[in-house]
Amino acid sequence: MASTEYSKELHIALLAVQRATLLTKSVFHSHAKGTLDKADASPVTIGDFGAQALIISALQHNFPDDEIVAEEEAKDLRENSKVRQTVWDLVQNSKLSDDAAEKELGGAIASVDSMLDIIDKGDSKGGSKGRIWAIDPIDGTKGFLRGGQYAVCLGLMVDGDVKVGVLGCPNLPVDDSQPLTEDIGADATDAEGKGVLFSAVQGKGAASRPLGKGSLANESTIGMKPISNISDATFCESVEAGHSSQSDSVAIANKLGITKPSVRMDSQAKYASIARGAGDLYLRLPVRKDYVEKIWDHAAGDLIVREAGGQVTDTEGKRLDFSHGRTLKENKGVIAAPKDVHQHVIEAVMSVLGSK
Ligand SMILES: Nc1ncnc2c1ncn2[C@@H]1O[C@H](COP(=O)(O)O)[C@@H](OP(=O)(O)O)[C@H]1O
Ligand SMILES: [Mg+2]
């Protein structure tokens, strides 16, 4: 492997996200087949803890001095021995079939207690200094439960700037050119041709590759689709009406002359989908004034879209600012679009939101 800046970080992040995404898929299957005791805990809880443990253990092995901001803490696992055992069994059985890759990630976690300590390493306050990884072990909780879209997300920030981003999207099609539809992920977990790892390094472009099961398969460069006429654009938004205003998005679409209905999907799969040109715009329009977005919900997707030729800002046109701790407290909502139409979209967004 050529050693350019952040190439080791990218390589480890890809393998760590691959291993964790495969774990979440196996939880979904065991749950669907009834082999996971439903009384124990929700499959999201189990998948979240397992994926977070696997990613942090890989980061600690390779980058022991880095800080980590992750969504979960081990408190509930420390208090519930049955769920703890379920997660521990799963983590022990989640190995990549490529032994060399598994070794690069540091191999198995030593004990159940060290697994709990590893999960709790994700408690960094974040901030504007140093190397900080942001992890969302299962983003799009609701999508995961529906058998739809969800993503395993990992980003590296250095001095508040995202340098590396990786998204594991097990239910998106491998084929970058497949058009975006709402049911793309529904029940697709086992289907052929699903499962993608997206990645980007600052200044080096964005790529996709099949999720696979062993060594990392060949990557393809991805890029946003040029739009000659904004009225032909396809936009994505959350499935959850509580996460993004679906009435404001209709008004913004009208203003831009967009007639196609939105494509609704959960998770950062939205960022990935527009980055590969399967859709054009991603609108996330605040519903509650007091909600602050979390950095782990955006770090990887923000970089992947920008490296694919897009611009990502909040609803006022300000770049997402990852230097303020665990949240994006200086931003409201997200607007992602190809660079050359982004300003046009922001004007429509500001006009609709400003007139409310
Ligand atoms: N009121 C709100 N507004 C915006 N986002 C919210 C929200 N409440 C929760 N979220 C975040 O929205 C994420 C899912 O985004 P999306 O709607 O794009 O799938 C959730 O991540 P998790 O699923 O990891 O909890 C959660 O962090
Ligand atoms: Mg999330």
**Per-residue pLDDT tens over the stretch 319-345:** 999 999 999 999 999 999 999 999 999
Residue 34: Cβ-neighbour burial (10 angstroms; 0-12, 13-18, 19+):
exposed
Closest-lying ligand to the alpha carbon of 150? 1
For residue 141, indicate whether it is catalytic: yes
CB 126 within 8 A of CB 164: no
Per-residue model confidence (pLDDT) at position 184: 53
Annotated catalytic residue, options 24, 45, 48, 139: 48
- Mean per-residue pLDDT, 122-128: 98
* Cα 281 to averaged position of ligand 1 atoms, centre (Å): 18
Q: How far is CA 325 from CA 71, 272, 322, in A?
A: 13, 24, 7
Averaged pLDDT for residues 38-48 = 83
ipTM exceeding the 0.95 mark: yes
Cα dihedral angle (27, 33, 36, 41), rounded to 10 degrees?
70
pLDDT band at 32 (very low <50, low <70, confident <90, very high): confident
Half-sphere exposure of 169 (CA within 13 A, CB side): 33
For residue 114, give every residue at least 6 positions away whose Cβ sits within 8 Å of its Cβ, in sequence order, or none: none
CA of 139 to the centre of ligand 2 (A): 4
The pair of structure tokens assigned to 5 is: 């800046």
User: If you classify domain 230-354 with CATH, what class do you get?
Assistant: alpha beta
- Atom 17 in ligand 1: residue holding the nearest Cα: 238
Q: Identify the pLDDT of residue 36.
A: 72
Segment 150-206, tens digit of pLDDT: 999 999 999 999 999 999 999 999 988 887 876 555 555 455 578 999 999 999 999
Q: Is the CB of 289 under 6 A from ligand 1?
A: no
Domain ranges for the chain: 7-222, 230-354
CATH number listed for the domain at residues 7-222: 3.30.540.10
What's the farthest any 2 CA atoms get from each other in the chain?
58
Asked if residue 294 has pLDDT above 80, the reply is yes
The pTM of this model reads 0.96
Q: Is 48 tagged catalytic?
A: yes
pLDDT for 34 beyond 50: yes
Nearest CA to ligand 1 atom 10: 243
Q: How far is the CA of 243 from the centre of ligand 1 (A)?
A: 6
Q: Is 243 in the pocket of ligand 1 (CB under 6 A)?
A: yes
Catalytic annotation, pick one of 86, 141, 313, 315: 141
Instruction: Label the pairing between strands 151-158 and 131-139.
Output: antiparallel
Query: Which atom, in ligand 1's list, is nearest to the CA of 240?
Result: 17
Report pLDDT digits (tens) over 132-152: 999 999 999 999 998 889 999
Ligand 1 mean position, distance from CA 293 (Å): 8
pLDDT at res. 1: 47
Answer whether residue 229 shows pLDDT above 50.
yes
pLDDT-derived band at 39 (thresholds 50, 70, 90) equals low
Cβ–ligand 1 distance for 297 under 6 Å, the answer yes
